Amino acid sequence: MIEIIENNKLKAKSDTSELEKIREFVSLKASEFGFSSAESQKIALAVDEACSNLIKHSYKYDNSKSFCLEVETLDNNFTVKILDKGIPFNPMSIAAPDMEEYFRTFKRGGLGIHIMKLVMDNISYLPSNEKNPYNLLKLTKELH
């Protein structure tokens, strides 16, 4: 079950049934920060894509595992941090697809990362290390 730990933090289990509440949480926080409804929904979409990938690829749909979301704001920047203990995977290591070629050759997959990059202004990734057991994905959008 989804658990809102503090005002800006949420814990979710590694299960796609959690995505709806994750979107609601992110969309609400983005709206409170000042983004329009359409922009807030796009940010929630980008976070949905990141979490869907995490559940599928890093946790292999193991719903005994969980991850955390934290919203951080600084000046005009709205950041969603996603912390997990799954298999490290850096979405920034994947090149953006050429969509014309993608459609011409009927490719599959990889669209979630593309959406994240198109929607957010900055994405960074830090895999876990000896000092920090969590992988950290940061998705940032600037409010104009």
Partner 1 sequence: MKDTTKFGISKKRVEDVECLYLKGYLDAHTAPILENTIQDSLNNGNFKIIVNFGELDYISSAGLGVFMVFIEDIRKNGGDIKLANMNEKVFSVFDLLGFPMLFDIHKEENHLISSFGSVKNI
In whole angstroms, give the CA distance from residue 88 to residue 129: 10
In whole angstroms, give the CA distance from residue 13 to residue 73: 24
Query: Under the criterion CB under 8 A, does residue 99 sit at the interface with partner 1?
Result: yes
In whole angstroms, give the CA distance from residue 17 to residue 127: 25
In whole angstroms, give the CA distance from residue 54 to residue 36: 27
- CB nearer to partner 1: pick between 108 and 131: 108
Query: Under the criterion CB under 8 A, does residue 100 sit at the interface with partner 1?
Result: yes
Query: Under the criterion CB under 8 A, does residue 129 sit at the interface with partner 1?
Result: no
- Positions in 32-91 near partner 1 (CB under 8 A): 38, 41-42, 45, 48-49, 52, 55-56
In whole angstroms, give the CA distance from residue 95 to residue 113: 9
Query: What are the structure tokens assigned to 117, written together?
Result: 């990059």
In whole angstroms, give the CA distance from residue 45 to residue 22: 10
- CB nearer to partner 1: pick between 73 and 89: 89
| Least distance (Å) between residue 75 CB and partner 1 | 27
Which parts of this chain interact with partner 1 (CB under 8 A)?
16-17, 19-20, 23, 38, 41-42, 45, 48-49, 52, 55-56, 99-100, 103-104, 106-109, 111-112, 114-115, 118-119
